[in-house]
């Protein structure tokens, strides 16, 4: 009895310990730590390879590199990748020398269906037939759809299958054959009384397979069919199919046939339907032909049909820059609203189209071009914002309107130097204040030559730019910072934002120049910004020259996973970080912060720490 009790207690203790271990090991965070530590182990000990990650294996350049790793299981992703890449050599190796159940891996089914790779499928079939004792033939029924286009292979497998169990995949195979135009397969399935899906004619007609359409019409005349067949044959431009269906079937079509043919530019089909069918079309035909730029179809519909169009036709053509269609509609149709079309074209930066619509409004409303001054100025500003120099040239050549100072500023600010140069070359009046402002914009864009040009024209240097150095500093344009500093009588305009932003974007040379030659200095935001963006060299420099920071420096570095910055700040600064931070997905950062008691809201399992790495980091700083 005593022994039993002892045994029971012993068993109980074992169970508790086992449960505790499993509970810990199921923790995803702890598992990550364990396997990350394993990853740090030498990959080879005593000349014997011990482990390799699957993702490392499939990344190897040699297709059959996995032969070097005889104990690595054939994971699904290895087979997936090999099939996805069409790597027949790798698949051959995996199938014939590795884990056999790759044949049954369901993920491979979708790769087969999408690839229609005969060589790949044949490899699996050969493997299967060489290992019949391991599988039932119906296991490979799912391959049928992918080999519907390889008749002999399909026929061989079909004849071995237990058809009731394979019916689902056979239905998919029929559909694949209909849409793929595999007539041999269709004839074979028909001769074997295979059931076809609903409306099989539509599947073949939509893809333009005339021979299958003819076969179904003559050999399976009782199969149900709908107007969908001709509608979609017309939509996809299959003229011979449309013609055959019209002459040999009774289902006909709907207005969708001509509407969609017009939309997609199938002019021959539009004419055929107009001349041989009575269904006609709707206003969608001309509206959508205008949308896609099919001028000949627009003209034909206007001249031979009575449905007309809607306001959408002109708007669609204007939005998509189809000037010939816009002209035709304006001259031959009355549905459009030209002002609406003009407003749409304003944002599409097509100068010739915009100008034409403005001229049409003038003709119809008796206005003058001067009445469009605001519209042209807005349009030209859009051209500048898009860097459309050709559009600007057209406006300068065909209208009396010219770009304003704001346009020049925008071109400089958004780095459209060619547009800015065009405006300057054509002449623009600048007053003293304009020149001062343009120095700042040129500095922002990094154009030293323009900075010098505008700066030389400033008569009152004391009213010179107050923000030029700020702008140049944040973009790292040191040469402009130096020029403005040394050539302005009052030293050039500058604020603490210059060094703050240069630090944020890692412009160390600019930070050093400003610190050495300027008196404005920076605020704690400089080191905070640099820490947040991981600019370690800038952080070190600012620390060395005695600049300040706040708890935001380490806090933001933690949020944005800048570990080296966190380490430097910890060992060299006293500000620390906020005590309750959002837990980072970077394990190493959280371990570091927890170990050094920089944070208080942490799980106990973060207390694991790599002291060797810690010592290296301590020595570094």
And the tokens for 459? 């008569």
Q: 219: which residues sit within 8 A by CB, 6+ positions away? A: 190
Q: Looking at mean pLDDT, say which of 16-25, 224-233, 430-439, 467-476 comes out highest.
A: 224-233
pLDDT tens per residue, range 137-151? 566 677 778 778 888
Enclosing H/E stretch for 445: helix 432-445
* pLDDT, greater one: 303 or 598: 303
The Cα-based distances of 91 to 21, 74, 83, 353 in angstroms read 39, 11, 7, 57
Report the C-alpha gap between 323 and 341 in whole angstroms: 12
* pLDDT, greater one: 210 or 599: 210
SS3 163: helix
Radius of gyration of the chain (CA): 37
Least confidently predicted of 49-53, 163-167, 198-202, 406-410: 49-53
In this prediction, residue 293 carries a pLDDT of 96
Least confidently predicted of 125-139, 327-341, 569-583, 600-614: 600-614
In this prediction, residue 445 carries a pLDDT of 86
Q: 614: which residues sit within 8 A by CB, 6+ positions away? A: 592, 595
Nearest to 70 by CA among 60, 81, 59, 57: 57
Give the helix ranges, DSSP H, for 116-162: 118-130, 151-158
**């067949």: which residue's tokens?**
229
Residues of the chain with pLDDT > 70: what percent?
A: 68
SS3 383: helix
Residues of the chain with pLDDT > 90: what percent?
A: 45
Report the C-alpha gap between 454 and 464 in whole angstroms: 10
pTM of this structure = 0.69
* pLDDT, greater one: 172 or 315: 315
And the tokens for 488? 């302005």
Q: How many CB atoms lie within 10 A of CB 162?
A: 11
Q: Quick one: how far is CA 418 from the chain centroid?
A: 29
Res 93 pLDDT > 80: no
pLDDT tens per residue, range 181-207? 999 999 999 999 888 988 999 999 999
* pLDDT, greater one: 494 or 587: 494
Nearest to 351 by CA among 319, 388, 316: 388
Angle between helices 448-456 and 432-445 (to 10 degrees): 160
CB of 370 closer than 8 Å to CB of 412: no
In this prediction, residue 160 carries a pLDDT of 77
Q: How many CB atoms lie within 10 A of CB 422?
A: 19
DSSP state of 369: G
SS3 content of the chain, % helix, strand, coil (to 5): 70, 0, 30
Burial of 93 (0-12, 13-18, 19+ CB in 10 A): middle
Q: Quick one: how far is CA 248 from the chain centroid?
A: 47
* pLDDT, greater one: 72 or 238: 238
pLDDT tens per residue, range 275-298? 999 999 999 999 999 999 999 999
In this prediction, residue 190 carries a pLDDT of 93
Domain parsing of the chain, residue ranges: 523-621
In this prediction, residue 45 carries a pLDDT of 47
Question: String of b and e for 472-487 (b: at least 16 CB within 10 Å)?
Answer: bbbbbbbebbbbbbee
pLDDT tens per residue, range 335-374? 989 999 999 988 887 999 999 999 999 999 888 888 889 9
Mean pLDDT of 499-504: 95
Res 425 pLDDT > 60: yes
What residues does 48 pair with on adjacent strands?
A: 45
* pLDDT, greater one: 456 or 437: 437
């Amino acid at each position: 009895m005593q022994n039993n009790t002892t045994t029971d207690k012993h068993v109980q203790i074992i169970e508790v310990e086992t449960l505790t271990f499993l509970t810990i090991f199921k923790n995803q965070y702890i598992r990550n730590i364990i396997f990350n530590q394993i990853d740090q182990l030498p990959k080879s000990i005593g000349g014997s390879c011990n482990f390799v990650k699957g993702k490392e294996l499939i990344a190897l350049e040699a297709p059959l590199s996995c032969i070097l790793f005889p104990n690595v299981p054939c994971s699904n992703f290895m087979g997936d990748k090999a099939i996805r890449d069409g790597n027949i050599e790798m698949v051959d190796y995996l199938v014939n020398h590795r884990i056999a159940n790759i044949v049954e891996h369901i993920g491979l089914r979708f790769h087969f269906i999408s690839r229609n790779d005969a060589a790949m499928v044949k490899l699996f079939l050969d493997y299967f037939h060489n290992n019949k004792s391991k599988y039932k033939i119906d296991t490979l029924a799912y391959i049928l759809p992918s080999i519907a286009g390889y008749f002999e292979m399909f026929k061989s497998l079909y004849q071995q299958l237990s058809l009731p169990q394979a019916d689902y995949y056979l239905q998919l195979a029929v559909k694949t054959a209909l849409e793929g135009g595999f007539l041999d397969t269709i004839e074979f399935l028909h001769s074997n009384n295979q059931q076809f899906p609903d409306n099989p004619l539509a599947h073949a007609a939509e893809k333009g397979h005339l021979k299958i359409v003819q076969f179904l019409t003559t050999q399976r005349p009782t199969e149900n069919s709908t107007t969908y067949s001709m509608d979609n044959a017309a939509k996809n431009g299959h003229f011979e199919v449309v013609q055959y269906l019209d002459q040999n079937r009774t289902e006909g079509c709907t207005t969708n046939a001509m509407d969609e043919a017009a939309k997609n530019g199938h002019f021959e089909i539009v004419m055929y339907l107009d001349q041989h069918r009575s269904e006609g079309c709707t206003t969608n035909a001309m509206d959508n032909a205008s949308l896609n730029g099919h001028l000949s179809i627009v003209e034909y519909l206007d001249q031979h049909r009575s449905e007309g169009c809607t306001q959408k036709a002109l708007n669609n053509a204007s939005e998509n820059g189809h000037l010939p269609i816009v002209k035709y509609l304006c001259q031959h149709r009355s549905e459009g609203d030209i002002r609406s079309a003009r407003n749409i074209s304003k944002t599409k930066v097509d100068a010739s189209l915009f100008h034409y619509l403005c001229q049409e409004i003038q003709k119809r409303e008796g206005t003058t071009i001067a009445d469009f001054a605001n519209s042209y100025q807005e349009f030209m500003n859009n051209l500048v914002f898009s860097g459309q120099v050709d559009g600007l040239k057209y406006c300068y050549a065909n209208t009396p309107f010219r770009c304003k100072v704001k346009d020049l500023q925008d071109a400089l600010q958004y780095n459209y130097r060619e547009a800015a140069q065009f405006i300057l070359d054509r002449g623009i009046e600048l007053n003293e204040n304009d020149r001062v402002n343009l120095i700042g914009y040129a500095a922002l864009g990094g154009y030293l030559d323009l900075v010098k040009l505008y700066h030389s024209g400033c008569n009152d240097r004391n009213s010179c730019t107050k923000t030029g150095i700020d702008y140049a500093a944040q973009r790292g344009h040191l040469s402009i910072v130096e020029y403005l500093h040394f050539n302005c009588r009052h030293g050039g305009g500058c604020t603490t934002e210059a060094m703050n932003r240069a630090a944020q974007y890692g412009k160390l040379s600019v930070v050093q120049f400003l610190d050495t030659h300027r008196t404005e200095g920076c605020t704690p935001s400089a080191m905070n910004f640099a820490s947040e963006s991981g600019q370690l060299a800038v952080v070190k420099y600012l620390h060395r020259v005695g600049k300040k920071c706040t708890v935001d420096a380490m806090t933001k570095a933690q949020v944005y996973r800048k570990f080296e910055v966190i380490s430097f700040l910890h060992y060299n600064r006293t500000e620390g970080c906020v005590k309750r931070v959002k837990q980072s997905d970077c394990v190493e950062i959280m371990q570091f912060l927890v170990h050094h008691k920089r944070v208080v809201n942490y799980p106990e399992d973060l207390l694991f720490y790599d002291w060797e790495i810690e010592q290296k980091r301590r020595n570094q700083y």
